[in-house]
A = this chain, B = another copy of it.
Amino acid sequence: MKRVAVGIDVGGTFAKLVAVDEAGRALKTGRLPTVLGRGPGPFIEGLSGAVKALAGELGRPVAAVGLGIAGDVDGERGVLRYSPNLDGWRDVELARPMAKRLGRPVRIENDANAAAWGIYRAELNGKSRNLLAVTLGTGVGGGLVLGGRLHAGSLGSAGEIGHMTVVPGGEPCACGGRGHLEAYAGGRNIVRRYAERMGLSGAEGLTPLDLFKRAGKGDPAAKAVWREAGEILGLALLNVAYLLNPDTVVLTGGVAAASRLFMGPIRQVLKGATFQTPVESLALKVSRLANAGALGAALLSLES
């Protein structure tokens, strides 16, 4: 029988759980509120309880557990260096105490890295060796699989495509920088830039989905911010193509659902590149995999 792992995508409000077999098949899912405010102890306790409950429902032993967390994660030491979503925690040891509590190996990984691995293993199934996954949500993240291995970098912080500078001195980013990819293609900034164009005093509760609908109805400002998001994404992806020559780029996350508004501008920028070898061979896709982060974290936990 195939071994089973549980993966957890830890968000600031909810944690999503998936039980996965070695082949990457999702067997069962769960969900629980993320317990913050009372420190890492109760947080780990809550997640561990949920893993046990899911294993019980499944009626199968769990071989390993993987956590995908937004932020700066040192997967090798199992330490969360910093997470804006988790009360701004700094240097919190997570893997070891949770492994002790569960009696199972626990691996933690940046959520976008985990999503890249999930897509690589469970969606592309060997159809890629060199992959960039871009997570388009409130912010923009990324994960890399290079030569068939997760590339987390020297300190585990690789893949931060959202904070690559595309336009020096350009739009402000939430991190304090300027001209970062996220400042143009992150959901929060797509809304902010639309509000600015419309002369609104704030985002007024608008969501990227609202702007997707408005663009569909012909709203020129909405169309413009999506087009610009695509152009800046195109420039960032072209730079990645030159640097890494990946065979595949996959867009994932909530904002990727609006891809028909920005895939055209991305492709146009790529087509205009002077050096076509790394571009012509690049497959640009939108992921259809649910729970990529949790799936990937689970599969990574089985492999390490």
Q: CB within 8 Å of B: which residues of A?
A: 72, 81-82, 129-130, 142, 144, 146-147, 149, 151-161, 163-168, 173, 175-177, 235, 238-240, 242-247, 273-275, 277-278, 281
B155 touches A147 (CB 8 A): no
CA distance A142 to B239 in the complex (A): 13
A274 touches B244 (CB 8 A): no
CB-CB nearest 8 A-B residue pairs = A153-B245, A158-B245, A154-B247, A160-B242, A175-B274, A164-B239, A177-B274, A176-B274
B159 touches A243 (CB 8 A): yes
Pairs A–B under 8 Å by Cβ, sample size 7: A144-B243, A158-B244, A158-B278, A160-B242, A164-B239, A173-B274, A243-B243
Given A159-B243, A177-B273, A273-B177: A129 and B147 within 8 A (CB)?
Answer: no
Contact partner of A243 among B81, B129, B160, CB < 8 A?
B160
Given A167-B168, A168-B166, A243-B243: A281 and B155 within 8 A (CB)?
Answer: yes
B163 touches A274 (CB 8 A): yes
A73 to chain B, nearest CB (A): 10
B245 touches A278 (CB 8 A): no
CB neighbours (8 Å) of A130 from chain B are 153-154
Closest to A177 in B: B274
CA distance A81 to B154 in the complex (A): 33
A129 touches B154 (CB 8 A): yes
CB neighbours (8 Å) of A164 from chain B are 239, 242-243
